[in-house]
Amino acid sequence: MMHYLFLLFLVFILGCKEEFPTYASFCSQSQHTFPCLHYAVLDSDDKKMLQKTFIVDEDKNCPFRVELTKYHVGECNNPQVKSLGSDFNGYVRVEIKKGFKCYYKVQSDFKHDATTAFNRVLERVKIDVNKEKKFN
């Protein structure tokens, strides 16, 4: 009996884990490193985490702007989505832009856990930033 309870518990824990991929790209092939960054992020904790991840201090006069979007999907009235269910509740995206031109973008979807999606995005930024530093 205990084996069945343990197995049920294990299936429950493994079944609840979010496994959404992280998508990242350098939108511009001309620029992969940034001499300065302006963090256009309202939440101070998110801003600190981004600064720590990019390893670039804030320069409010910098033309390269870091933007953070945490989007939660509102109520959807699409009959197909209602019948099949949605794969995600929202996404977290970090972009580096100069004006309206995108230079770098990383995004991850989430289902009920925006914090985990944000952490996935930060981990991907660390990988991409360290990769670019090795090549330069």
User: Is 36 inside a domain boundary?
Assistant: yes
What's the pLDDT at 84? 47
User: Is 35 inside a domain boundary?
Assistant: yes
User: What is the residue range of 127's domain?
Assistant: 20-73+80-135
| pTM of the predicted model as reported, rounded to 2 decimal places | 0.73
What's the pLDDT at 10? 46
What's the pLDDT at 32? 73
Report residues of the chain scoring pLDDT below 70. 1-20, 28-31, 74-88, 132-136
Closest CA to 125 of 2, 60, 39: 39
User: Is 50 inside a domain boundary?
Assistant: yes
Number of domains in the chain: 1
User: Is 113 inside a domain boundary?
Assistant: yes
What's the pLDDT at 39? 96
User: Is 109 inside a domain boundary?
Assistant: yes
What's the pLDDT at 123? 93
What's the pLDDT at 4? 52
Q: Which tokens is 21 given?
A: 């991929």
What's the pLDDT at 75? 59
User: Is 2 inside a domain boundary?
Assistant: no
What's the pLDDT at 63? 95
